[in-house]
Chains A and B, each alone.
Chain A
Amino acid sequence: MSDSDTPKLQSIILCQSCDVAVSRQALPANVRALCPRCHSALYAKPFCTINGVLALCITALLLYIPANFYPVLELHFFGSIRTSTVWEGAYSVIKQGYYIVGIAVALGAIVAPAALLVSILLQVLIVKHGLHKPILRKYFRSILKKHLLIKQFSMPEIYVISMFVTAFNLGDFADIYMGIGTFCYVMLFILMLFLQREYNIDYMWEQLHESQ
């Protein structure tokens, strides 16, 4: 199980989609290697600016709080005013008995983005300070293994679009206002976009490998 018997394997890459064997070559920044056979993405530069990721991650976490506590939309209709935060949106559907729908919305818009941010934050902190400790290495590994799943569930981009679609839809017969919550949620989405561009899971795996 030591990695000394596999020096040659470091230079081979197998495509996850079609299993073709490709030799790894150094890539310039912002260039992705595609599989020559099936054109799936193979790998990018195994590099990420840890401090940049940390900065983006902390900013996103700070924005996460107002994005979830302030209402994202406000509706004025003949004198009555209704506001809704992201969570109230999901909860109102659950209250009507549509648990699956409510949970799906809550997961995609609130829970998974938070989990993704916390996951990246923990990874960065462990890479920076704790990879020499076996216990932290173990945590690091299990976080990394769950990362792709969390990433798949996190969909702030869809929620942003749906806020605008709702605003247009309801704007037809009522006055719709957006507030600080909308702004923070959109900013959160933009930051997460950049964060995921900057973050590189292959780099994290390599950090774990090198520390063993």
Chain B
Amino acid sequence: MNPNKPSYHEMAQGNHLNLLSCPKCKMVCSDELEYCPRCDSELAIRDESSLQKAWAFLITAAILLIPANIYPISIITKQGRVTHDTIFSGILHTIHLGMIPIAIILFIASILVPWLKIIGLATYLSAISFNLPLSKRFLMKGFHIIEWIGRWSMLDLCVISLTVALVNMGQLLDAKPGIAATPFALVILFTQLAAKVLDTRLLWDRMENKHDSNRTTKNS
């Protein structure tokens, strides 16, 4: 790191300059205003309650992840034989059929992404709640990745909806969604909400507090 550049502890934050930015339109305003002059949204320096809301959404999502994984997500009837497939066994099935690239896509979208999202968000929220000494820059990068990849879990649900619409030939060949589909959809919804509702600036405020105790800069 360039020694002439201010270390990132010393950078001025909006709340030290009596400034805040509108959460909706990003306009920079004085912190005395209650409503944004440009878009009329309510202004607040920080949304402290967002941490609690994010925890609530995250815990809900983590609980729902269990039924989403242990119950069948699709029920396929092939010439009278009925198979119940969970997310995981569905992917194993795809591997047995030799469609490795498809299996990788499905694995990333329906297993890796939800788990990463929940573990990542839990780490992020604990870092704020319990002041864990983790690199903030690393956490922030992880957070942006989580925000971006989260929606890709929808892939499995879209595949199910198309399959169910196309494959309906009674005993010969038939596909139906299983009960895990709803909890799986809710996992996506709640993890997205947790990431969206959180005021990430809370993380950086914690660091400012730590600055007083002379912690050395930790670079990722």
Contacts and interface: CB of A to CB of B under 8 A. Distances in A.
Interface of A: 1-3, 6, 9, 12-14, 16-21, 36-40, 72-73, 75, 77-78, 80, 82-84, 88-93, 96, 98, 100-102, 104-105, 108-109, 141, 144-145, 148, 152, 155, 158-159, 161-163, 165-166, 168-170, 172-174, 202, 205, 208-209, 212
Contacts of A144: 25, 39
Contact of B163 (A36, A80, A145, A170): A170
Interface of B: 5, 8, 11-15, 17, 19-21, 23-30, 33, 37-41, 94, 97, 99, 102, 105-106, 136-137, 140-141, 143-144, 151-152, 154-169, 172-173, 176-177, 181-182, 184-186, 188-189, 192, 196, 200-201, 203-205
Does more than half of chain B's interface fall in helix, strand or loop, or is it mixed?
helix
Contacts of B203: 18
B39 A93 contact: no
B13 A20 contact: yes
Contacts of B182: 98, 100-101
B11 to A, nearest CB: 5
A162 B155 contact: yes
Contacts of A209: 27, 38
18 contacts: A6-B28, A6-B30, A12-B17, A16-B23, A16-B200, A18-B140, A18-B201, A19-B14, A19-B15, A77-B169, A88-B165, A101-B177, A102-B161, A145-B41, A158-B155, A161-B155, A162-B156, A165-B155
Contact of B24 (A78, A101, A145): A145
A84, A93, A100, A161: most-surrounded residue (chain B CB, <10 A): A93
Contacts of A93: 160-161, 164-165, 177, 181
A84 B155 contact: no
A196 B12 CA distance: 32
Contact of B159 (A1, A91, A145, A162): A162
Contacts of B184: 101
Contacts of B11: 20-21, 36-37
B155 A98 contact: no
Contacts of A88: 165
Contacts of B188: 104
Given A39-B141, A73-B166, A209-B38, A172 B97 contact: yes
A77 B169 CA distance: 9
B161 A89 contact: yes
Nearest to A99: B182
